[in-house]
Amino acid sequence: MTFSIIMAAYNRRDVLVEALGFIIENDFPKEEYEIIIGDNNSTDGTKQRIEQFCKDNAGKVNIKYLVETRKGNVYARHSAVKNANGKYLVFCDDDCFVAKNWLSEINRVFNLHPEIGLLGTRIEILWDKTPPSWIKPYQPQLGEISSPVPLRIEENNFYVNSGSMAISKELFEEVKGTLPEQIGEYYVGDGETGLCKKLHALNKPIAITNQTFVSHYQLVAKNGGIKDIKRRHENNGICEAFHEVYRLKKVNIDNVLWNRNERRKSMLKSILTLNFTLARQSYFQYHFYKKKYEFIDVFTKQSTNISKDWELNDKYIASPIVYSSVFERKF
């Protein structure tokens, strides 16, 4: 089998089923991929919806479903990977709608460039309705990513998004998987950013193709306001704190405090001069450094007593498959 599509899911049953519909309509041979859903203990009836989806698609496509009760999508993803049979793992979020040539393009690139360690694709934002105009520059915070060329391959300082990325299962297991990331609405680690950094350390090229894409579905009421963009900046601050404490083992707390204070001054000055664009930008950056400062302290205190039970190794305990729908190849 070529691909195992890994989807961590949490309380998005309707969008998840819609996303699955896009996947099974892709143009790649169905016997060459499986979909593995790692449900991070949803409470919205996801389990029942997926059970019905498996029944409705019995014999049509390979689908596996498991429930991971440990909080954090890293556990849902790693438990799914432990149950994967594909040569390549393709990660996709439960609110992303894939293009018809999604798997075909990923397969084409890996065949042409087997040296690539991690491959991302273009990600576009799909709003449920027209968002406020000010949010356009912040759409990369929502997962938007693209390349100025059809295929970009970089060996250093390049990152792709877990909303649509692929890696060989062998390499993913070699680096012990991804890093802790989101629990609920907030991060506790640096997720796919940390994975990219681990691959950079091994001199594995990271690439992005613009020849296919996924649409990241976002709700204006939830994701199109100040509150959510602030949360995402805070998450990035946590990611950076995680990287500096655990990976670099070196932090410059004075620099963090200086930046936090300067952004606060800039925010207040911009409000007084009615420059609301700069005020917004300074507000988000202030919360980035505020959260980074907070979590440098958190991570430093716990760094000597961390279990790393998320690491994908021989000791990792994976949740079992609950439901499945197996494709029966017709000759």
pLDDT in tens, 10-21: 999 999 999 999
Beta strands in 99-148 (DSSP E): 118-127
pLDDT in tens, 58-107: 888 999 999 999 988 899 999 999 999 999 999 999 999 999 999 999 99
Length of the chain: 331
pLDDT at 305: 62
Q: With contact defined as beta carbons under 8 Å apart, do 115 and 154 qualify?
A: no
The contacts of residue 122 (CB under 8 Å, 6+ apart) are 145, 146, 147, 164, 208, 209, 210, 212, 213, 214
Grade residue 308 by pLDDT with cuts at 50, 70 and 90. Answer: confident
pLDDT at 72: 86
Q: With contact defined as beta carbons under 8 Å apart, do 178 and 77 qualify?
A: yes
Q: Which two tokens stand for residue 30?
A: 């169905």
